[in-house]
């Protein structure tokens, strides 16, 4: 019995860590302010053009518009928010198919937006028993809230490993991690190898926890360098426990896209600012006095431009240097080395949260199941019930990525039935997002490949003449999260203003 409890505790904590991947996304949504949805045509002029209306682009634009600059935002989707995408159902039910939560204490900028625009937040529902499903056996047990001070025994080694990494990374300069002692060596060492070398004898549950937690934010630890892991440790406030403790995870009124909608509406009140949706930029050329952003049937002439899309997506834009020659080399090299992680998110709508009457929290983890992690995403007030899941496109047999939407829904729903019973098969609506297949996102969040920081890192945030770059992958604090996107956008806006 003790072994089974320990195993269940480890699986629960692993699931909490894995949920952290739900912090990014893209596709159709709602229309903010007086944004136009038909797509831009013709030629217009502005002080600053912004390519991309995710949080990085919106905050850059807001910073500039409030300083009196005439701003035009060009967004290829038919909504703002970038990788924060909220599908709104009746009676305040929401499917956050991209970024899922604001995390208390470590996301002060996002919390500030909610206060400024009077957007409610509330804690994630965690009352009741959690479900685990392993080897065809369903069990229930108490919810777990790991902390460094009181770690669940099965993953204590994993938490101690994170602590040691955070201590080692204490003096990393987030603006210049390539200056860290032994940076070259650390940047060519796979982080998983570092963990094995410095944590001999670590148990299987701790390894699973580390793979789930790290896989959610910087990415699987066998895909990037130890230097990048050190950078991320510093950027995440020394692997703050708030990231894997659900007590700190806040839901957002109308979903995580709501602050983006409000910022967009705010921008369009300033000095002729406008947001053009369904407008795909293809090229940016510049000379000594201006930039020209062009796409099919339109041009925008401006003094400066902010490219606020993921680095891999930025590679698809044809750009020039100030002398008119094609932009190649160092800037393109670093963008090519920020690899996006994939992910599948899906949500089900029910007439009520039936699992709560059974004493369940709605939280479930299943080893080997297509829906490997499930949580309660219901509205704050009594009404409909919502369950969400997060998994990878390779989960399932055959893999989810290869299925039709109907097959994928059936496979994921089958996991829910195993966790919560036959009522889970009776959803009234369903929504999903497959991030690997979104050509305007290419994934959920990025990490640096081996050697990227020391070879090309100094160009990650460097402007090229009148072209500036912003994205959560170019951020520092809150890297790979909405927080990092906002701070990156604010920094670039101030850079253009000379602040």
In this prediction, residue 30 carries a pLDDT of 39
Q: Is the predicted pLDDT of residue 34 greater than 70, yes or no?
A: no
Contact between 92 and 343 (Cβ < 8 Å): no
Which DSSP state fits 404? Answer: -
How many Cα atoms within 13 Å fall on the side-chain side of residue 275? 33
Average pLDDT over residues 15-42: 51
Q: Is the predicted pLDDT of residue 252 greater than 80, yes or no?
A: yes
User: From CA 52, how far away is CA 356, in angstroms rounded?
Assistant: 40
pLDDT in tens, 303-332: 999 999 999 999 999 999 999 999 988 888
In this prediction, residue 76 carries a pLDDT of 95
In this prediction, residue 1 carries a pLDDT of 37
Average pLDDT over residues 482-488: 96
Q: Which is higher by pLDDT, 146 or 167?
A: 167
Write out the two tokens for 44: 């217009």
Three-state SS at 68: coil
Q: Which is higher by pLDDT, 106 or 3?
A: 106
Mean pLDDT over each residue of the chain, to the nearest integer: 89
Q: Which is higher by pLDDT, 242 or 487?
A: 487
In this prediction, residue 17 carries a pLDDT of 52
CB atoms within 10 A of CB 379: 19
In this prediction, residue 38 carries a pLDDT of 62
In this prediction, residue 12 carries a pLDDT of 52
User: From CA 187, how far away is CA 377, in angstroms rounded?
Assistant: 39
Average pLDDT over residues 244-262: 94
What residues form DSSP beta bridges with 432? 346
CA nearest neighbour of 361 among 345, 377, 347: 377
pLDDT in tens, 346-379: 999 999 999 999 999 999 988 889 998 899 999 9
User: From CA 234, how far away is CA 459, in angstroms rounded?
Assistant: 20
Q: Is the predicted pLDDT of residue 51 greater than 60, yes or no?
A: yes
Within 8 A by CB and 6+ apart from 116, the residues are none
Q: Is the predicted pLDDT of residue 33 greater than 80, yes or no?
A: no
> 190-194, 262-266, 398-402: lowest mean pLDDT where?
398-402
Q: Kindly tell me the sign of the dihedral angle through the C-alpha atoms of 71, 74, 78, 83.
A: negative
Average pLDDT over residues 377-400: 87
| Cα separation of the two ends of the chain | 62
Write out the two tokens for 205: 């549950």
CA nearest neighbour of 188 among 473, 447, 454: 454
In this prediction, residue 29 carries a pLDDT of 38
Buried b (16+ CB within 10 A) or exposed e, 242-256: bbbbbebbbbbbbbb
> Which residue's entry shows tokens 């789930």?
212
Q: Which is higher by pLDDT, 35 or 39?
A: 39
At 240, is the pLDDT very low, low, confident or very high (cuts 50, 70, 90)?
Answer: confident
Q: What's the pTM?
A: 0.91
pLDDT in tens, 97-153: 999 999 998 999 999 999 999 999 999 999 999 999 988 999 999 887 878 888 888
Three-state SS at 94: strand
Within 8 A by CB and 6+ apart from 363, the residues are 12, 15, 126, 130, 131, 143, 246, 374, 375, 376
pLDDT in tens, 428-459: 999 999 888 888 887 777 889 999 999 999 99
Three-state SS at 85: coil
């Amino acid at each position: 019995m003790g072994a089974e409890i320990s195993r269940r505790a480890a699986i629960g904590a692993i699931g909490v860590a894995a949920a952290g991947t739900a912090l990014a996304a893209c596709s159709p949504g709602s229309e903010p302010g007086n944004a136009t949805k038909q797509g831009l045509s013709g030629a217009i002029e502005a002080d600053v053009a912004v390519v991309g209306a995710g949080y990085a682009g919106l905050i850059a634009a807001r910073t500039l518009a409030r300083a009196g600059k005439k701003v035009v935002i060009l967004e290829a989707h038919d909504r703002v928010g970038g990788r924060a995408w909220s599908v709104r159902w009746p009676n305040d039910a929401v499917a956050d198919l991209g970024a899922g939560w604001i995390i208390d204490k470590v996301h002060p900028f996002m919390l500030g937006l909610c206060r400024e625009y009077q957007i409610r937040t509330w804690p994630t529902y965690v009352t009741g028993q959690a479900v685990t499903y392993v080897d065809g056996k369903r069990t229930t047990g108490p919810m777990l809230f790991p902390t460094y001070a009181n770690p669940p025994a099965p993953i204590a080694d994993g938490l101690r490993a994170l602590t040691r990494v955070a201590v080692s990374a204490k003096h990393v300069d987030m603006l210049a991690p390539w200056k860290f002692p032994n940076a070259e060596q650390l940047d060519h060492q796979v982080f998983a190898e570092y963990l094995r070398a410095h944590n001999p004898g670590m148990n299987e549950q701790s390894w699973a926890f580390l793979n789930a937690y790290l896989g959610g934010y910087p990415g699987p630890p066998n895909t990037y360098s130890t230097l990048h892991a050190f950078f991320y440790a510093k950027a995440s406030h020394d692997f703050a426990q708030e990231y894997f403790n659900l007590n700190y995870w806040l839901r957002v009124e109308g979903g995580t896209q709501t602050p983006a909608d409000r910022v967009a509406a705010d921008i369009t009140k300033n000095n002729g600012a406008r947001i053009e949706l369904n407008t795909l930029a293809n090229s940016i050329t510049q000379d000594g006095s201006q930039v020209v952003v062009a796409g099919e049937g339109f041009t925008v002439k401006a003094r400066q431009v902010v490219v606020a899309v993921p680095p891999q997506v930025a590679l698809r834009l044809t750009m020039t240097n100030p002398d008119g020659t094609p932009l190649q080399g160092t800037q393109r090299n670093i963008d090519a080395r920020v690899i996006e992680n994939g992910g599948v998110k899906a949500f089900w709508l029910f007439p009520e949260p039936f699992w709560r009457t059974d004493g369940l929290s709605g939280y479930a983890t299943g080893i080997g199941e297509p829906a490997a992690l499930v949580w309660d995403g219901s509205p704050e007030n009594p009404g409909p019930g919502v369950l969400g899941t997060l998994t990878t496109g390779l989960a399932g047999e055959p893999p989810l990525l290869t299925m039709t939407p109907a097959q994928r829904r059936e496979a994921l729903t089958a996991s829910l039935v195993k966790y919560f019973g036959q009522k889970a098969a009776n959803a009234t609506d369903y929504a999903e997002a497959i991030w690997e297949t979104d050509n305007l996102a290419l994934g959920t969040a990025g990490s640096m490949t081996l050697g990227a920081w020391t070879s090309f890192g100094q160009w990650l945030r460097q402007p090229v003449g009148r072209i500036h770059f912003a994205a959560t992958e170019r951020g520092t604090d809150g890297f790979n999260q909405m927080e990092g996107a906002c701070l990156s956008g604010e920094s670039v806006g101030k850079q253009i203003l000379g602040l």
